[in-house]
């Protein structure tokens, strides 16, 4: 998988969380992910398909980070992951993918986005519907960790 597919998702995530939730994330080192077990407590997953490529993107948050983002975005902090937090993670997944779509569009890659799905719970799984390598990129923050996963097949 080309770096040019991954970097737009990284910059979009950093931009969305800084703008919408005054949250700064520090990127770690990307690696190939070999299993489907999520590295956090709640994940948004979205599929993408276009003439040149198909793929999927997911973002997983530790519960503590998801609750902090909720508090910063909406002014309320639930005690645990609930329906509102699930909706927020779906919306963040949409915003990050939309931002990446715009950046990739500038490079000539066009794709349509599906509706995101959100899964939560300890050791939940994320299944990417493509054959390409799954790249996982960890992020840290004082409020908890996040991980993004990107997987693309070039057609």
* pLDDT per residue as tens digits for the range 118-153: 999 999 999 988 888 899 999 999 999 999 999 988
- Burial of 43-57, coded b for 16+ CB within 10 Å and e otherwise, reads bbbbbbbbeebbbbb
Range 3-18+39-152: architecture per CATH: 3-Layer(aba) Sandwich (3.40)
- pLDDT 10s digit of each residue in the chain, 155 long? 566 778 899 999 999 999 999 999 999 999 999 999 999 999 999 999 988 778 899 999 999 999 999 999 999 999 999 999 999 999 999 999 999 999 988 988 888 999 999 999 999 999 988 888 899 999 999 999 999 999 988 65
Task: Please report, in angstroms and rounded to a whole number, the separation of the first and last CA atoms in the chain.
Answer: 12
What are the start-end ranges of the H helices in the chain? 3-21, 63-74, 83-106
């Amino acid at each position: 998988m080309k770096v040019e597919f991954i970097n737009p998702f990284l910059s979009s995530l950093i931009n969305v969380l800084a703008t919408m939730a005054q949250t700064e994330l520090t990127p770690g080192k990307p690696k190939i992910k070999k299993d489907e077990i999520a590295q956090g407590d709640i994940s948004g997953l979205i599929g993408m398909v276009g003439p040149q490529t198909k793929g999927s993107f997911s973002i997983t948050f530790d519960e503590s980070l998801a609750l902090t983002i909720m508090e910063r975005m909406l002014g309320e902090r639930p005690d645990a992951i609930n329906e509102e937090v699930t909706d927020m993670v779906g919306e963040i997944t949409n915003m990050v993918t939309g931002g990446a779509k715009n950046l990739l569009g500038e490079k000539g890659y066009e794709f349509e986005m599906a509706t995101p799905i959100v899964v939560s719970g300890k050791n939940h799984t994320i299944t990417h519907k493509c054959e390409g390598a799954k790249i996982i990129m960890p992020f840290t923050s004082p409020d908890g960790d996040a991980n993004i996963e990107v997987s693309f097949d070039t057609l």
